[in-house]
């Protein structure tokens, strides 16, 4: 096992070093001074590999600290200040239990997760699948447990917890994750189904789990869910399940099938980038059901001509690509509305004192997650623009089809925004929460953010056009700006200023972005919107 572990670490560190040099070469100003010969400099690559090895060992500790601090401790510290310290600690345990035991059970399974390293080790280097998986799982969960103890103790101690409950919780979560790995593998064994690839189930579990985690903060009460895990009997029960799963995973004989389900290819000379590009293309390919006689009928497009006709035809004949993500988001919002109404009725006494203004900082990240813009842009590129951008007349008419598509994008995202606003209204009615001021502000923010993200995704697509003919996204400016926007959306949850000022600022910003996008696309779009 040690020899296999050394091989895995060598694959990880060398791949990380190569990625580091690859991205340095693409940095403005600096990248032009780095030649391709950097990949052949053995001493430099060894030094970079040592640095990457150290970072790979530190990374689990840093990610656990960031996870515990931002997603578990920070919401309790910001919105649970009025609660006694004991209840705040219970809330901390509850949020951790919902996110780390419930949500992750549906969204993560290392044994079936598609990974570049898995393909290289098993497919290219011909390492036995069983040896690879046993070594990988052992290394992962030993490091998983060791990195969780300091992160848990760091933040739980701020709420009055001692070291012993943190150790019990770390043992429980590590062994629970091993047990979940076994369950995912057994499900695949019996049905051939890889649960983590079912986006509808995964995102529904994420939405419901996060709602169950954070709603008690808004109701100002601490459920005993998480505290049930911080005791010896519960730890022993989970430990028994985890140890049973460990033995079964160690004795499992068909890891080759699990690796095949994740890698999907047998050719040892396969270009991995091409495999990933194929997977992305499959997401935006049309279905035969889209080409029904009703969809192909031109009667419904009477009165449209030019680019209006072209785009109406595109959206009609690719409705599964456009409507499916929209329906998934509407289903998630509907599930959240149902949970909110149930909570509102069941805990009406607590909910009556709820301040809807506490939801204001979450509107940015919520609408960012619910926006369908990026998926629609990829579908438009692969199924329409990839061919038409080769013609000058289409690039020169960029302003016309940008406006048509922007109207369609706004319609999709405003529909989701209206559903979310309606869900909040239903929750407020069920809980008996006053709606005179905060609810209208939430409506304004939700609608404003839907406009902002609609403009943002389409503007980035037209100005930076990041997709290549293989549907890879390689424009660094596109990624940097998108990362800044998503980070700003996430960090907005710590906003503590007046809700009215925030709503006005976002409304003005959205209208300004809309105006600027129309001007900049008209001026520069014919040069930037092209095939690369």
210 pLDDT more than 50: yes
What is the SS3 string spanning 308-355? Answer: HHHHHHHHHHCHHHHHHHHHHHHHHHHHHHHHHHHHHHHCHHHHCCCC
**Does any domain span residue 338?**
yes
- Are 235 and 377 part of one and the same domain? no
Q: Please report whether residue 29 resides in a domain.
A: no
* pLDDT tens column, 412-425: 999 999 999 999 89
Q: Are residues 167 and 303 in the same domain?
A: no
Last residue of a domain, one of 270, 294, 314: 270
Compute the average pLDDT of residues 365-373: 88
For the chain, how many structural domains are there in total?
A: 2
Positive or negative CA dihedral for 24, 30, 31, 37? negative
Three-state DSSP class for 467? strand
Q: In this structure, are 163 and 286 located in the same domain?
A: no
Q: What is the mean predicted confidence (pLDDT) over 271-285?
A: 49
The H-or-E segment that residue 472 falls in is none
Average pLDDT over residues 195-214: 82
Q: Measure Cα distances from 208 to 82, 88, 102, 213, 259 in Å.
A: 26, 22, 10, 9, 30
Nearest one of 414, 345, 75, 374 to 211, comparing CA atoms: 75
Residues 98 and 238 in one domain: yes
Comparing 447 with 319, which gets the higher pLDDT? 447
Give the Cα-Cα-Cα angle 24, 26, 28 (nearest 5 degrees): 95
Residue 259 domain-assigned (yes or no): yes
Let me know whether 336 and 253 are in one domain: no
Domain co-membership, 402 together with 517 = yes
Please report which confidence band the pLDDT of residue 454 belongs to, taking 50, 70 and 90 as the band edges: very high
Q: Which of 270, 287, 306 is the last residue of a domain?
A: 270
Predicted model pTM:
0.63
Q: Among candidates 357, 444, 422, which has minimal Cα distance to 79?
A: 357
Based on the fold, state whether residues 174 and 130 are members of the same structural domain: yes
What confidence tier does 148 reach under pLDDT thresholds 50, 70, 90?
A: very high
Secondary structure class of 495 (helix, strand, coil): coil
Residues 220 and 330 both lie in one domain: no
HEC secondary structure over 48-89:
HHHHHHHHHHHHHHHHHHHHHHHHHHHHHHHHCCCCCHHHHH
The terminus-to-terminus CA distance of the chain in angstroms comes to 45
Contact call for residues 163 and 153 (beta carbons, < 8 A): yes
**Containing domain of residue 489, as a range?**
277-528
Q: Are residues 397 and 281 in the same domain?
A: yes
Task: State the pLDDT confidence band at 87, using cuts at 50, 70 and 90.
Answer: confident
What was the pLDDT predicted at 246? 93
Question: Does one domain contain both 251 and 304?
Answer: no
In a domain, residue 42? The reply is no
Judgement on whether residues 388 and 311 belong to the same structural domain of the protein: yes
528 near 464, Cβ under 8 Å?
Answer: yes
């Amino acid at each position: 096992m040690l020899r296999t572990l050394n091989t895995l670490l060598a694959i990880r560190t060398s791949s990380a070093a190569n990625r580091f040099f690859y991205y340095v070469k693409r940095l403005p100003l600096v990248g032009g001074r780095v030649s391709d010969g950097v990949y052949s400099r053995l001493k430099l690559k060894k030094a970079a590999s040592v640095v990457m090895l150290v970072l790979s060992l530190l990374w689990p500790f840093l990610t656990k600290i960031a996870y515990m601090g931002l997603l578990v401790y920070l919401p309790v510290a910001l919105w649970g200040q009025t609660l006694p310290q004991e209840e705040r600690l219970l809330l901390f345990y509850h949020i951790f239990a919902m996110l780390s035991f419930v949500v992750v059970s549906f969204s993560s399974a290392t044994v079936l997760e598609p990974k570049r390293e898995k393909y290289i080790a098993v497919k290219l280097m011909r390492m036995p699948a069983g040896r690879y998986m046993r070594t990988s799982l052992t290394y992962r969960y030993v490091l998983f447990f060791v990195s969780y103890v300091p992160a848990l103790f760091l933040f739980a101690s701020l709420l009055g917890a001692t070291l012993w409950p943190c150790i019990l919780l770390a043992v429980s979560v590590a062994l629970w994750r091993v047990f979940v790995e076994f369950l995912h593998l057994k499900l695949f064994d019996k049905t051939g189904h890889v649960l983590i690839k079912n986006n509808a189930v995964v995102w529904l579990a994420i939405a419901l789990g996060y709602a169950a985690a954070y709603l008690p903060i808004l109701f100002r009460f601490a459920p005993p869910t998480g505290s049930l895990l911080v005791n010896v009997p519960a730890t022993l029960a989970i430990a028994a399940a985890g140890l049973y799963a460990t033995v079964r995973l160690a004795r499992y004989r068909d890891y080759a099938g699990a690796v095949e389900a994740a890698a999907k290819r047998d050719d040892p000379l396969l270009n991995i980038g091409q495999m990933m590009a194929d997977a992305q293309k499959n997401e935006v390919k049309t279905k035969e059901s889209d080409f029904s006689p009703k969809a192909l009928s031109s009667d419904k497009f009477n009165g449209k001509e030019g680019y209006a006709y072209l785009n109406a035809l595109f959206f009609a004949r690719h409705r599964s690509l456009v409507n499916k993500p929209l329906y998934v988001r509407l289903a998630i919002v509907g599930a959240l509305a149902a949970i909110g109404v149930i909570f509102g009725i069941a805990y009406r006494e607590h909910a009556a004192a709820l301040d809807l203004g506490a939801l204001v900082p979450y509107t940015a990240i919520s609408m960012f997650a619910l926006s369908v813009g990026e998926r629609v842009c990829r579908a438009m590129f692969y199924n329409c623009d990839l061919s038409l951008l080769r013609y000058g007349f289409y690039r020169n008419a960029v302003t016309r089809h940008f406006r048509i598509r922007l109207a369609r994008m706004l319609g999709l995202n405003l529909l989701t925004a209206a559903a979310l606003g309606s869900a909040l209204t239903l929750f407020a009615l069920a809980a008996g929460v006053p709606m005179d001021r905060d609810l209208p502000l939430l409506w304004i923010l939700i609608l404003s953010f839907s406009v902002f993200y609609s403009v943002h995704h389409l503007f980035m697509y037209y100005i930076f056009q990041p997709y290549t003919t293989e549907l890879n996204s390689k424009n660094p400016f596109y990624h940097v700006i998108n990362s800044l926007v998503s980070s700003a959306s996430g960090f907005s949850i710590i906003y503590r200023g007046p809700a009215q000022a925030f709503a006005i600022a976002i409304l003005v910003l959205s209208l300004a972005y809309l105006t600027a996008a129309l001007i900049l696309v008209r001026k520069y779009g014919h040069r930037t919107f092209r095939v690369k």
